[in-house]
Amino acid sequence: MEKALPLAWKHKVKIITNMGSANPQAAAQKCVEIARKHGLTGMKIACVTGDDILPIIDRYMDTEVWETHEPLSKLPGKIVSANAYMGVEGIVKALQQGADVVITGRVSDPAIFMAPMVYEFGWAEDDWDKLGKGTMVGHLLECGGQVTGGYYAEPGKKDVPGVGHLGFPLIEIREDGEFFITKVEGSGGMVTPDTCAEQICYEIHDPENYLTPDVVANFKAVKFVQDGKDKVQVSGATGKARTSTFKCSIGYKDCFIGDGEISYGGPGCLARAKLALEIVKERLELVAPGQFDEMKYDIIGCNSLYWNPDFKYNEEPSEVRVRVAGRAKTKAIADLVPNEVEALYTNGPAGGCGAVKRTRDIVSVASILINREDVHPAVEVFTV
């Protein structure tokens, strides 16, 4: 915001962001401080609240949790947060009140892009096809440089030029919802039907029924057509009536995870790494039998990503890194894992180096559906 606010004020560009996180009011007040420092007198900075439903979470204790298929009341730890995914309503209200900057808490990713279209074009809240098109705009833009080739890049298979100075995507849209996607001329990356097609599939469960707070979008008939260098014409999105519910993310105190890492290099490093894991496994069985809810023993470079216990160690790498992680109900038990890994410095195989250890207090996330009538978007505007 130190860089963005003065530029936005100078060029009469509005900023809409979900960087308010768990405290949109504090974020807005911080931006007011920055704006005052830069002399941006008259700038209006709004925060959108209403996503925090922790005060009424007791109403939903019998609601099924998606991840466990059990009632919310059966979560194993204390609930510390409950945030609903809101739609465009609060952002549009802020724009109607003349906001130059709009800062939200939890809203759906497409909402921060679709809200200015709803505001500028006066789209009705039940014009489902236009909202479907607006959702597609938001879905293409929501991951920044992903659609301009960043996450698309794969050397030798999907080569992308200039990824180190990747250009972020731009949308130009008409009132009827037809649009094209491009990027700043001269920036790195590329915009092609392939980069757009890969992004439109990202995080989509059912392309014919993409559930959002504002509309159920249908991307099944979407078409991407190249219309010049780094310019793709997009068409075909539609929509239908939104659901009566919002998704809500529940944060709860779950467990502690202790983990430690240590590296082995040079001839025989893999054998030494396997011996290190055997030592730690035996030690933990001695000092804390049955005390861990889950354990994971990795050799990074061999089996850590795919959890494959049957990995065939056919080739000797030049270096590997051992990682051991354990979940436990208490910090004291979780601490045993990194402590035992660190002890390999002197008590384990030869040549261990670069040991690190940490124990983390884990807040996990559970998902439920709540009645949208229980969510009330509110706007507060601060004038500099």
Per-residue pLDDT of the chain (384 residues; tens, 9 = 90+): 999 999 999 999 999 999 999 999 999 999 999 999 999 999 999 999 999 999 999 999 999 999 999 999 999 899 999 999 999 999 999 999 999 999 999 999 999 999 999 999 999 999 999 999 999 999 999 999 999 999 999 999 999 999 999 999 999 999 999 999 999 999 999 999 999 999 999 888 899 999 999 999 999 999 999 999 999 999 999 999 999 999 999 999 999 999 999 999 888 899 999 999 999 999 999 999 999 999 999 999 877 776 777 777 666 778 899 999 999 999 999 999 999 999 998 888 999 999 999 999 999 999 999 999 999 999 999 999
Same domain, 199 and 280: no
Q: Determine, yes or no, domain membership for 73.
A: no
- Coil, helix or strand at residue 330: coil
Helix (H, G, I), strand (E, B) or coil at 114: helix
User: Within this chain, do residues 94 and 224 fall inside the same structural domain, yes or no?
Assistant: yes
Whether residues 128 and 237 share a domain: the answer is: yes
- Are 188 and 230 members of one domain? yes
Q: Which residues pair with 30 in a beta bridge?
A: none
Here the tokens at position 154 are: 């794969």
Residues 152 and 45 grouped into a single domain: yes
Q: How many domains does the chain have?
A: 2
279 domain residue, yes or no: yes
Same domain, 200 and 105: yes
d(CA 117, CA 120): 5
Do 199 and 317 fall into the same domain?
no
- Identify whether residues 20 and 165 lie together within a single domain: yes
Are residues 177 and 296 both part of a single domain? no
211: in domain? yes
Q: What is the CATH number of the domain that holds 344?
A: 3.30.70
Distance between CA 336 and CA 313 in Å, rounded?
Answer: 28
Specify if 146 maps to a domain.
Answer: yes
Are 112 and 183 within one domain?
A: yes
Residue 200 lies in a domain: yes
Segments forming the whole domain that contains residue 269: 255-362
264 and 237 within one domain: no
Residue 65 lies in a domain: no
Within a domain: 264: yes
Q: CA triplet 31, 144, 18: central angle to 5 degrees?
A: 35
- 228 and 284 co-located in one domain: no
Domain membership flag for residue 369: no
Q: DSSP for 237-262?
A: -EEEPPPSEEEEEEEEEEEEEEEEEE
